[in-house]
Amino acid sequence: MAPKQGEEAIVVGHNETSADQQLMGKDHADEEGGGPPPGGGGALKNLLWHGGSVYDAWFSCASNQVAQVLLTLPYSFSQLGMVSGIVFQLFYGIMGSWTAYLISVLYVEYRSRKEKENVSFKNHVIQWFEVLDGLLGPYWKALGLAFNCTFLLFGSVIQLIGCASNIYYVSDHLDKRTWTYIFGACCATTVFIPSFHNYRIWSFLGLGMTTYTAWYITIAALVDGQVAGVVHSGPKKLVLYFTGATNILYTFGGHAVTVEIMHAMWKPQKFKYIYLLATLYVFTLTLPSAAAMYWAFGDQLLNHSNAFSLLPKTGFRDAAVILMLIHQFITFGFACTPLYFVWEKVIGMHDAKSICLRALARLPVVIPIWFLAIIFPFFGPINSAVGALLVSFTVYIIPALAHMLTYRSASARQNAAEKPPFFLPSWAGMYALNVFVVAWVFVVGFGFGGWASVTNFVKQIDSFGLFAKCYQCAKPPAAPAPLPHPH
């Protein structure tokens, strides 16, 4: 069945890429050749637009891994306490890097098997659910498609909510719901970006913006010092503890677009350790900023899921807000692009030659995201709920299970396209580590984390209601009572 599925995928793929050739100017033949598109008159366009090197992949992974969640990690530290916050970041960062490695191995295995059958991928963008389909069958395809698409949908919702929340701290003339309307329209312009090849300059700029924001938060918290009467009582409640832990699980589970990033590379086999290297850099941003904010503000963060809300209004802060807004636009595009691909394939529009026609076909993907952001405007609790219910399966449990099942037979292990890594050179060791990942994430991430995050999410709905006009906005001071008229 697998060869037949692969051939059918390529029939679709050949129809799809005629549009990609028109939009990107080059097809995957350039990438298969192992180098960038040739220079010439479009040298500047190639430099800014056509990304496929290991450096492009690193920038994409690092930029995509931490965006709005950078502003919610201090909130997680207030729920977990300083020690647990640091430990969970390191733990989930390494675990996330491991499962990203597994995804890259499965991609290479799938592609290798199909190319041995003379299946060409020059004109086809491989996605994660197709890898699962080719290696494990249609039921796994359905599982991967459902979890991945739902996670990316809510990931986009979180970025849109974050845009409205952040801009409010620069200009509060409009409420957050109105800002959500505005930024929904702005983010909808990502329908014009053809694929991950075209995020080269955006990934580079996005990581620079995140770096500035992280170090601004760190320095501002340290320079201003601790607020009067600061209290560090975390961890205080199990619900809050596991909510914070699942938010960090979400932070380092940003590799739902790993396959698409790999496929955009000229040599995907070089991806293996890129996510780990990106995570190590991200640690330099997340650990200092979250620790400094928690040190400075303590339990005040329990009621402020956005770090900007506690920092004084200065030019530096406003610059950080603006840069984060631009980066969130980029991250919105990262999360939506795989959804655009899936939707185009479903409606048969992926072979359209006109970029405007494809953009128009993609718009129905943005509309439900826009609507959900207006219904649930509290991104801190959403981060935790998405982490527990979706990320736990999408980027931790499913890749580990898929790897074990793909290589369950001796012949599969003997003929594997990628052997076990140098730091864990036995298949038994890989199986043991995968079993640990599945058990830990299922019990702690999905079980306890799901209970805590859903409880907290429902509490937010009860407190603020659906369609909240201005979630966690400062309440205006009460109007003074009118003076009595003299007789």
User: What is the structure's pLDDT at 44?
Assistant: 58
- Burial label, 225 (beta-carbon count in 10 A; 0-12, 13-18, 19+): exposed
Single out the residue of 82, 473, 86 nearest to residue 304, CA to CA.
473
Sign of the C-alpha dihedral, residues 157, 159, 164, 168?
positive
Element (H, E) at 437: helix 427-440
Q: How far apart are CA 353 and CA 405, in angstroms?
A: 39
Could you list the mean pLDDT of each consecutive 10-residue stretch along the chain, which spans 487 residues?
40 37 36 45 59 86 83 92 95 95 94 85 79 94 92 85 78 76 84 78 88 95 92 87 87 83 86 92 95 95 87 91 86 87 83 79 88 73 76 93 95 92 91 96 92 80 60 49 51
Is 330:63 a contact under the CB 8 Å cutoff? yes
Single out the residue of 20, 99, 46, 106 nearest to residue 440, CA to CA.
99
Which residue segments constitute the domains of the chain, with CATH numbers given? 51-464 (1.20.1740)
